[in-house]
Amino acid sequence: MIRGTYYRKFDAPLGEIWLASDAIGLSGVWFVGESHEPTPDSNWTRDEKTDPLLNEVVIQFKEFFAGSRQIFDLPLSINGTKFQKEVWSGLDTIPYGETTSYSGYADSIGKPGLARAVASAIAKNPISIVVPCHRVIGKDKNLRGYAGGVERKKHLLQHEIEFKFS
């Protein structure tokens, strides 16, 4: 039997989060109501807390929000263009509780002068928090767009700073 996409919602401190996984790994983490929120279709199966991977995802999210986990250890299944995957693959190199600018990040992954294209790819990250796109901010230190909303981005950064130094 071929495994399709399993999904469930998880109640997080920042609101409900959609979780999705496929045969390869975690394929999606979206806040309910965000701009990229998925619409489950006939190929998706609602998980009734039996999928081992989604159970592990929930455990790691609970640890993250409790401050006892800084790095997620999960298999990922990220769908996107080659460029998007290149951009997303380096986001986990930004240390927990720290930030970088879009242009600084573009430079760090060998894409100098492509800050806007990098920002566009970051905005389409399908695995929020686990692939920490919230750690990329404006060059002027202002928070820029986040699919889950700038307030959530702010909360995630404050959360990481609080637990990094506690």
Q: Which residues are marked as active site? A: 133
Q: How many helices (H) and strands (E) does the chain have?
A: 5, 6
**Range list of H helices, the chain:** 52-66, 82-89, 102-108, 115-123, 150-164
Q: Cα separation of 48 and 69, whole Å?
A: 25
Work out the burial of residue 152: count CB atoms within 10 Å of its CB; fewer than 13 is exposed, 13-18 middle, 19 or more buried. Answer: buried
Q: How do 100-101 and 15-21 pair as beta strands?
A: unpaired
Which residue bears the tokens 């263009």?
A: 81
